Amino acid sequence: MEQQKLRELLETLHQELGQIGTVDEKTAEVLATLNEDISKLIEGGKDAAENEESLTDRMGEAVAHFEEEHPRLSMLIQHVLDSLARMGL
């Protein structure tokens, strides 16, 4: 069940990322990395996350980066991190 919830959160987050308009270079870099991480998680689930040691670190940095300008996006990323933590990652 937790894995299904994570998949749904990731898909929602992926959609939110696609709706962000013009961004600066740093934000574009964060978005590209997040999109890549999300794609890996959606395709491989928990196994893919276990292979990514710094995944939670990168997502944590993304939460901080988007917190002010994109609070909904920041909240979704935090929910994904919480789900990963509950799964033991």
pLDDT higher than threshold 60 for residue 79: yes
Domain count, the chain: 1
* Span 49-78, pLDDT tens digits: 555 557 788 888 888 888 888 888 889 888
Please spell the DSSP secondary structure of 52-72, one letter per residue: -TTHHHHHHHHHHHHTTT-HH
Calpha distance 66→39 (Å, rounded): 19
According to DSSP H, which parts of the chain are helical? Answer: 2-18, 25-50, 55-66, 71-86
CB atoms within 10 A of CB 59: 22
Calpha distance 72→70 (Å, rounded): 6
**What residue numbers bound the domain in which 23 lies?**
2-86
- Comparing 49 with 84, the larger pLDDT belongs to 84
Structure confidence at residue 89 (pLDDT): 67
Structure confidence at residue 77 (pLDDT): 87
Q: What is the pTM of this model?
A: 0.72
